[in-house]
Amino acid sequence: MKRINFIWMPVVVGVALLASGCSITPSHKELKAPATRAQGSVATAGSATGMPNGKVGWGRITIFAIPVAPVHVEGDASRETMNFVRDALTTAGYTVSTVEASARAPGPVLTVGIKQYKFNNYTWLAPLIITWGRIELDASLRDTNNHVLWSKSYLGKGTSVHITKGFTNSAEKCMTRVLDQMVVDFSSPAFAAASVGMPAN
């Protein structure tokens, strides 16, 4: 009996943790300043596109990692993601404005598409809960005729062993790594040229 209880203890602990909710609170850590700050202004879309509807992953139990609890993102992840991209632009040195979908911008606009926003955990080793995930974004700067002046893809991966905030911590690491990459690119001469309507070479 004691052996059975020991074997199923990770399941019991895992279910208890999953019952407390599997959710992600979007955030990022302080971003790294670029070697050389850019100057000027950049307009951005109000929200990112492509965010999955509903779940973005699973909380899993048993040694076979059976998915039992869907993971959701709190709040408006599409708008929050674009807010974070604006943070990267500001860190790079730009003054940032927002252009909503119904408005026509006078110049280039930075848009972002979410290709992946995916997270999972493994509870069999409880109380060691391993959580991992990835965020992949496509960013593009387009002129008033929707021609692409500059574009780049970004991937951030992150893991966490936090017992109750694993999903949030993992997502924070992913987003910070994506944004730090963006800061470097946003401060480049190629992006600066595209921001004033000149196609990147």
Least confident window among 7-11, 27-31, 161-165, 181-185:
7-11
Q: How many CB atoms lie within 10 A of CB 133?
A: 25
User: If we measure between CA atoms, which residue out of 53, 77, 48, 59 comes closest to residue 16?
Assistant: 59
Work out whether strand 66-73 and strand 23-24 pair parallel, antiparallel, or are unpaired: parallel
HSE of 28, CA atoms in CB hemisphere, 13 A: 23
For 116, the enclosing helix (H) or strand (E) is: strand 109-122
Residue 12 has pLDDT above 90, yes or no: no
pLDDT band at 103 (very low <50, low <70, confident <90, very high): low
Query: What are 109-167's pLDDT values in tens digits?
Result: 999 999 999 999 998 888 889 999 999 999 999 998 989 999 999 999 999 998 889 99
The length of the chain in residues reads 201
Query: What are 19-66's pLDDT values in tens digits?
Result: 444 899 999 999 999 999 999 999 999 999 999 888 999 999 888 889
pLDDT recorded at residue 113: 98
More confident of the two residues 44 and 107:
44
User: If we measure between CA atoms, which residue out of 24, 113, 35 comes closest to residue 73?
Assistant: 24
pLDDT recorded at residue 19: 44
